[in-house]
Amino acid sequence: MARIALCQVNSGDDPEANLKLVRSGVEAAVTGGARIVVFPEATMARFGRPLEPVAEPLDGPWASAVASVAAEHDVVVVAGMFTPADEGRVRNTLLVTGGGQHDGYDKIHLYDAFGFAESDTVASGATLTTFDFEGVVYGVATCYDLRFPELFRALADDGADVVLLPASWGAGEGKREQWEVLVRARALDSGCWVLACGQADPAATGVTVNPKAPTGIGYSTVSDGFGRVVAQAGAAPETLLVDVDPAVSAQARTATGALANRRL
């Protein structure tokens, strides 16, 4: 059994201020017994501000500071940041640090949808990322990746029983319903636990943001491989502590045959 914390926060424009959110979130999660602490996409700096000026490599000051927090508390921290790319763009990167690793996943599927064009400022990644911690294999994915079942099946093929999905989900009519359905569907597709940690809804705390940017709706959601919602947050900042049994993933795959019976 693995205890995982989802820290649903509102990150701001300032990476240094957002480091304080990471530190306080980890401290609270560790008090609750968490071994992995997950923060949303764009934890380093929210969408709606220029991203290139804040982008840093994985060995830069921001990621190194998060690594120090993870090491201090002997946990794995997963948090969204931005790393440099070519042609004046950045990469939308998930930092995975602690427990003997310091790595990054660059978001593969960019949010060119619902009137937003992430690819204007962000370069896509191409490589899946998994990591092993305390005998469990975890996959990672980011936000819009949630709409692509083949990614989750590929992570399961690579051994993942749990997928951690930081997000900054765009608001709009029907978007919460799509979020909830997609989290459950991807869990069913892959037989994996899917732990989706979103940015809190700025409106829930009176935070003013760029109305055209995907700055979050809250409702971080956890589904097991049977598509059952095990935990869900509300719209405002909140931390969910979830006990995950990786054995449920094998049970789900055996029951549904969703991976074994594939023909395409």
What is the predicted pLDDT for the residue at 54?
Answer: 96
- What is the rounded CA–CA span in Å between residue 247 and residue 251? 7
What is the predicted pLDDT for the residue at 227?
Answer: 98
Q: Is 41 a catalytic residue?
A: yes
What is the greatest pairwise CA distance in the chain? 49
Q: Classify each residue of 231-242 as buried b or exposed e, where b means 16 or more C-beta atoms within 10 Å of its C-beta.
A: ebbebebbbbbb
Q: Is 56 a catalytic residue?
A: no
What is the predicted pLDDT for the residue at 90?
Answer: 97
What is the predicted pLDDT for the residue at 193?
Answer: 98
What is the predicted pLDDT for the residue at 209?
Answer: 82
- What is the rounded CA–CA span in Å between residue 2 and residue 241? 10
- What is the rounded CA–CA span in Å between residue 126 and residue 98? 23
The pTM of this model reads 0.97
Query: Residues 7, 107, 118, 192: which is the catalytic one?
Result: 107
| Other C-beta atoms lying within 10 Å of the C-beta of residue 30 | 17
Query: Residues 7, 56, 118, 143: which is the catalytic one?
Result: 143
Q: Is 107 a catalytic residue?
A: yes
Query: Residues 7, 41, 118, 197: which is the catalytic one?
Result: 41
Asked whether the beta carbons of 193 and 244 are under 8 A apart, the reply is: yes
- What is the rounded CA–CA span in Å between residue 132 and residue 139? 9
pLDDT in tens, the chain (264 residues): 899 999 999 999 999 999 999 999 999 999 999 999 999 999 999 999 999 999 999 999 999 999 999 999 999 999 999 999 987 899 999 999 999 999 999 999 999 999 899 999 999 999 999 999 999 999 999 999 999 999 999 999 999 999 999 999 999 999 999 999 999 999 999 999 999 999 999 988 888 888 888 999 999 999 999 999 999 999 999 999 999 999 999 999 999 999 999 998
What is the predicted pLDDT for the residue at 112?
Answer: 95
